[in-house]
Amino acid sequence: MALGMLVGASAPSRAHFPVSLTASHTKAATSPILIDGTISFAVYASFSKAKESRVVRFALKENDELNLEYLILDQSPTNKLKNSQLPTVVVTSPSGKKIVLSIKERTPFFEPFGKKNYFYLSRMTQKGEAGIYRVTSTSKMKSSIVIAIGRTETRGEVLSVGAARGECPPTIANEETITDTRASQLIGMTEKAAEVCAAASGWLYRVGERDGEQFALTRDYRTNRVTASVTSGTISAIAVG
C-alpha cells in the first residue's frame, strides 16, 4: 500500500495521528513522509545513546501554516535531563533554511486521551513554504521525545519509503535520470501521494491523463520527469519523460 501507517503510541495534547521513528530513519532519503503537514501528527523518537539521529519529512502547500511543537513525556529518564542534555531538533525548510526548536519552556500538561503527563519544550507557528520539510532530531544521551506537527484533527497519511511498488523510492541526490523501475513505484499511490513522493525525490511531475481525459502536454523528453495516468484518484500508469 502506498500510504502505510507507522506503529505509534498514544498522542499528546490533541488527537494527533501517531508516527514512530525507528533506527532505519536516520537520514532524510529513507525517512517517512507525512503527506499533509497541516494534519495533526505526533512523531515519536527514542534514542539509546548519544549522537543518534531520527528524521521525518512532511509536505506543505502554498499558503499552508507551519505548526511545530517539541515535547517530552513526564517520565524517567528524559524528564530528569537538563535542557542542555535533551536532543536537538532542527527543521529544514524546502528552500534550505534551518530553524532550531530552541527549548524555551517546560510547561506541564495532562493529555486525557492517553492519560499521560507531558512537558512542552518549544512551540512555533509561522507561514510555511510550499514543498518538503524535514525535521532532524539528534540525541545527547538516552532519551525520548515527541514532535507534534500540524493542527487539523483528522486521520493522517504517511508515505513509507522502500523498493516495493506503492512505496516512495529512497531519495537520490541530484538524480538526473529516473529509471522505469523507480518511477513504477508510484503506481497504486493516490494522486496526492505520488505528487508528494515526486517532490521529495526531486522529480518533475505532471498528469498526462485523468479518468480517460488526455491533457495537452509539451513533447520535450525530460529524463528527470514522470508523467502520470490517474484513474479514480489513483496512479494507474507512469512514464518517464
Write the CATH number for 228.
3.30.10
pLDDT at position 4 is: 37
Same domain for 202 and 170, yes or no, is: yes
Number of C-beta neighbours around residue 7 at 10 A: 9
Same domain for 45 and 135, yes or no, is: yes
Q: Range of 142's domain?
A: 17-158
At which residue does the C-alpha cell 484518484 appear?
233
Q: Is residue 1 included in any domain, yes or no?
A: no
Q: Where is the domain boundary, 122, 139, 158?
A: 158
B/e letters for 18-49, b = 16+ CB within 10 Å, e = fewer, are: bbbbeeebbebebbbbbbbbbbbbbbbbbbee
pLDDT at position 216 is: 86
Same domain for 23 and 115, yes or no, is: yes
Q: Where is the domain boundary, 119, 140, 158?
A: 158
| Number of domains comprising the chain | 2
Same domain for 99 and 22, yes or no, is: yes
pLDDT at position 126 is: 97
Same domain for 30 and 134, yes or no, is: yes
Pairing outcome for strands 143-149 and 65-73: antiparallel
Q: Is residue 38 included in any domain, yes or no?
A: yes
Same domain for 147 and 187, yes or no, is: no
pLDDT at position 14 is: 53
Residue 118: strand pairing partners: 73, 109
pLDDT in tens, 49-102: 999 999 999 999 999 999 999 999 999 999 999 999 999 999 999 999 999 999
Using 50 as the pLDDT threshold, list the residues of the chain that sit under it.
Answer: 1-13
Same domain for 146 and 208, yes or no, is: no
- pTM, two decimals, is 0.90
Q: Where is the domain boundary, 106, 125, 158?
A: 158
Same domain for 31 and 139, yes or no, is: yes
Same domain for 84 and 143, yes or no, is: yes
Tally: H helices and E strands in the chain = 2, 16
Number of C-beta neighbours around residue 134 at 10 A: 18
